[in-house]
Amino acid sequence: MVIVQKDFDLSGPLPANAVPLLVVRGALPIESVQDRMLKRDLYERLGVPAYWIVDPTEPFLLALRLVGGRYEAEYEGGAVFRPEWPFPVSLTLADLAT
């Protein structure tokens, strides 16, 4: 199921059956640090359990996991990312570089 912004109220919280398990965002070079923090705070408030931010220009990935209502970094780096949760996957970040 793909959920887009128009599917939910940004003031949150999302209904339990509408909360995506994972949000993956590409980091935009024109995006300010403030914009990134606002989005992170929004997903945190909405209760999105996993939030990954990918910067293919580096390459770099920050994987966050919701723990006690706050995001904690689970992975931060630019090599190979092999999480077991929320989905088992293997990403070679250099392959994402543009």
* Model pLDDT for residues 39-53, shown as the tens digit of each residue: 899 899 989 999 999
Q: Range of 58's domain?
A: 5-96
Phi/psi region, residue 7 (left: phi>0; alpha: psi -120 to 50; beta: rest), is: alpha
The confidence score (pLDDT) of residue 66 equals 96
Mean pLDDT of 27-37: 77
Q: How confident is the model at residue 55 (pLDDT cuts 50, 70, 90)?
A: confident
Is residue 53 within 8 A of residue 23, CB to CB? The reply is no
The confidence score (pLDDT) of residue 1 equals 46
Whichever domain contains 52, its CATH number is 3.90.1570.10
Structural domains of the chain, count: 1
Residue 28 has pLDDT above 90, yes or no: no
Residue 10 has pLDDT above 70, yes or no: no
